[in-house]
Structure 1
Amino acid sequence: MATYTISELAREFDVTPRTIRFYEDQGLLAPERTGTGGRQRVYSQRDRTRLKLTLRGKRLGLSLSEVRDLIDMYDSPSGTVAQLESFLAVLARHRRTLEQQLRDLNETLAEIRTHEARARSLLAEHGK
């Protein structure tokens, strides 16, 4: 069974070891502890997959809580139907949020264009 150090995972996924430790603190990863006082972390293939899914979820804009809920479903004995329905619900909520942000951005951009046009017009009136 493949195992990984924190440095190996950090390099592979281009994150800091601190980020990986944070995800561990949040319950997303659960490495084995070895060495004197259990100070060395040993990550399993399961941890690697969970880290990959966590980073993917973050790129999608999901909260860590949403990511954890979705990932935890993969560890549960339930079927994929519940997982997919939950995933679709999370994505739908996120899509609605992004669509609202897009509407807000477009409105703000339109207001900026109006102010720019007005400022240019005033400059033209002053012969500049």
Structure 2
Amino acid sequence: MSDTRLSFKEMCAKFDVTPRTLRYYEYIELLHPEKEGRSRFYGNKELARMTLILRGRRFGFSLEDIRQWLLIYEKEGTTAQMHEWVALADRQLIELADQKQQLEDTIAELKNLRDTTAETLG
């Protein structure tokens, strides 16, 4: 991997996040950019972490879950992190299946109410 170094603005653009989001991820210690004066720079490690953070958010994981998962890698290594990932993924799959069922029930109820109302109109 090349020795990438992105500025704060470039990092926001690359990952399509707002400056506020990026600052917040730093504040809660998900990211640790290099600092030179008031400037921040993001290397390969931070780019990889940001990719994982955004993927985790897309899957519905909380930022705290993601933070804890990233800390496991730093303290215990890849194998421990993968074990935790499997456990997190199992819990999230159950949660997503429940949300899917709730959505399907809501859609069916709305469709039924819509059809009943349409029949009343004649």
Structure number with bigger Rg = 1
Q: Quote the Cα distance in structure 1 between the aligned partners of 2:78 and 2:44.
A: 21
Residues 57-92 of structure 1: CA distance to partner in whole angstroms, max 9, x if unpaired?
111111101111122222224341x22221111111
Alignment: residue pair count: 120
Shift, 1:2, TM fit: 3.3
Percent pairwise identity: 35
Note the residue ranges of structure 1 that are not aligned, 5 or more in a row.
Answer: none
Cα gap change, 1:113/1:2 in structure 2, threshold over 3 Å: closer, same or farther?
A: closer
Q: Quote the Cα distance in structure 2 between the aligned partners of 1:84 and 1:43.
A: 25
Which residues of 2 match residues 46-125 of structure 1 at below 5 A?
46-80=45-79, 82-124=80-122
Cα gap change, 1:46/1:79 in structure 2, threshold over 3 Å: closer, same or farther?
A: closer
Match for 1:87: what amino acid? W
Q: Quote the Cα distance in structure 2 between the aligned partners of 1:102 and 1:77.
A: 34
Q: TM-score, normalised by structure 2?
A: 0.87
Q: Quote the Cα distance in structure 2 between the aligned partners of 1:22 and 1:65.
A: 12
Q: Quote the Cα distance in structure 2 between the aligned partners of 1:110 and 1:23.
A: 39
* Secondary structure, aligned partner of 2:77: coil
Note the residue ranges of structure 2 that are not aligned, 5 or more in a row.
Answer: none
